[in-house]
């Protein structure tokens, strides 16, 4: 019997695929495989029994890849399986950065007992006026599964979209519709875009890439979205850029305490892939990968 340990729960749509030749273990000790979402494995001791890790999601920065490589543990992720869920939240993020939706909702809650709320709202609403995204320039940094979907959706909403990715695949280049401009480096995005959204993995080479040097090249009042990973942004430089108005809005999916109270920051608790559909897609893909590897030795990760 093969033993699988779930470090944090993944959707039943995936778990129910395990037949009675599998047991769900209470601990990692002696497990053949681990399934997890965003919980970190960095502090865990990897048992000699462990053959595979299935990450139900795209990012693998929560897994000690070097130790896994040394021990011959195969690490799977589920690229693309939650891309639509993340894309939809990024599009919502564009709206949040443009219209004071959060402020408006808060105002109504605060004034709910005012019998003349409709009249008062007429006066108050000026303070919540925003701008439209149609016709604005959006820079998409990273054109993988999520970046491509975001670029196409924003273009359909009337934005002028610029994209950059040093590793752009031919398949993804083809998926980009003809009205998206591919630029040669991020600087070309920094110096002309009104909105910038980042969709690159967390690597040593991408850590802190949105920093003072990058902000200095951007337009005054630029709006930045980060639904990728918090370490891509240099917090101290972002705080300065928000305080000076260089960056007017920072919408991020990472509840980093250093960012939460910054003026202009809108912070979500890592909800990008938190839809029923994305959770199911990721869980099914991760469980299929693990079963195919444990039973047939197949390594499929596309």
Q: Give the distance between the most distant pair of CA atoms in the chain.
A: 69
Task: List Cβ neighbours of 241 (8 Å cut-off, separation of 6 or more).
Answer: 212, 215, 247
Q: Residue from 13, 18, 44, 59 that binds ligand MLT (CB under 6 A)?
A: 59
Q: Does 199 bind ligand MLT (CB under 6 A)?
A: no
Stretch that binds ligand MLT, among 175-183, 211-219, 254-262, 265-273 (CB under 6 A): 265-273
Stretch that binds ligand MLT, among 22-30, 172-180, 241-249, 269-277 (CB under 6 A): 269-277
Q: How far is the CB of 145 from ligand MLT (least distance, A)?
A: 10
How far apart are the C-alpha atoms of 142 and 168, rounded to whole Å?
8
Q: Residue from 54, 57, 147, 163 that binds ligand MLT (CB under 6 A)?
A: 57
Partners of residue 150 on adjacent β-strands: none
Which residue lies nearer to ligand MLT by CB, 61 or 217? Answer: 61
Q: Does 37 bind ligand MLT (CB under 6 A)?
A: yes
β-strand pairing of 195-198 with 137-141:
parallel
User: 3-class SS at 174?
Assistant: helix
How far apart are the C-alpha atoms of 233 and 69, rounded to whole Å?
28
Which residue lies nearer to ligand MLT by CB, 39 or 108? Answer: 39
Q: Does 270 bind ligand MLT (CB under 6 A)?
A: yes
Q: Within the chain, where are the H helices?
A: 12-15, 65-71, 83-98, 101-110, 117-124, 145-156, 170-175, 186-190, 212-217, 235-244, 257-260, 276-296
Q: How far is the CB of 79 from ligand MLT (least distance, A)?
A: 8
Q: Please say whether the dihedral angle defined by the alpha carbons of residues 100, 275, 258 and 260, taken in this order, is positive or negative.
A: positive
Q: How far is the CB of 206 from ligand MLT (least distance, A)?
A: 14
Which residue lies nearer to ligand MLT by CB, 58 or 150? Answer: 58
Q: Does 58 bind ligand MLT (CB under 6 A)?
A: yes
Find the binding residues for ligand MLT in span 271-300 (CB under 6 A): 272-273
Q: Residue from 3, 11, 82, 197 that binds ligand MLT (CB under 6 A)?
A: 82
CB-based contact 195:147 (threshold 8 Å): no
Site for ligand MLT, rule CB under 6 A: 37-38, 57-59, 82, 270, 272-273
């Amino acid at each position: 019997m093969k033993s699988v340990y779930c470090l944090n729960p993944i959707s039943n749509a995936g778990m129910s695929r395990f037949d009675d030749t599998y047991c769900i273990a209470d601990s990692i000790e002696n497990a053949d495989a681990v399934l997890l979402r965003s919980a970190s494995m960095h502090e865990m001791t990897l048992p000699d029994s462990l053959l595979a890790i299935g990450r139900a999601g795209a990012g693998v920065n929560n897994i000690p890849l070097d130790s896994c490589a040394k021990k011959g543990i195969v690490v799977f992720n589920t690229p693309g399986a939650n891309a639509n869920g993340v894309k939809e939240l990024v599009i919502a993020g564009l709206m949040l950065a443009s219209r004071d939706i959060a402020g408006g909702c808060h105002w109504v809650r605060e004034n709910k007992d005012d019998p003349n709320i409709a009249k008062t709202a007429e006066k108050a609403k000026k303070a919540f006026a925003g701008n439209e995204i149609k016709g604005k320039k959006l820079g998409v940094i990273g054109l993988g599964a999520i970046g491509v979907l975001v670029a196409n959706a924003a273009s359909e909403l009337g934005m002028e979209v610029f994209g950059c990715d040093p590793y752009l695949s031919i398949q993804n280049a083809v998926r980009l519709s003809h009205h998206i401009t591919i630029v040669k480096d991020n600087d070309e995005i920094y110096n002309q875009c009104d909105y910038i959204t980042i969709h690159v993995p967390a690597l040593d080479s991408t850590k802190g890439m949105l920093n003072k040097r990058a902000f200095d090249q951007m337009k005054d009042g630029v709006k930045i979205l980060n639904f990728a990973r918090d370490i891509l942004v240099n917090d101290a430089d972002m705080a300065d850029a928000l305080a000076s108005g260089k960056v007017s809005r920072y919408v991020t999916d990472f509840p980093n305490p250093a960012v939460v109270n910054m003026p202009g920051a809108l912070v979500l608790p890592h909800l990008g892939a938190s839809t029923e559909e994305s959770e199911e897609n990721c869980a099914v893909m991760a469980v299929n990968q693990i079963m195919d590897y444990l039973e047939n030795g197949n390594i499929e990760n596309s």
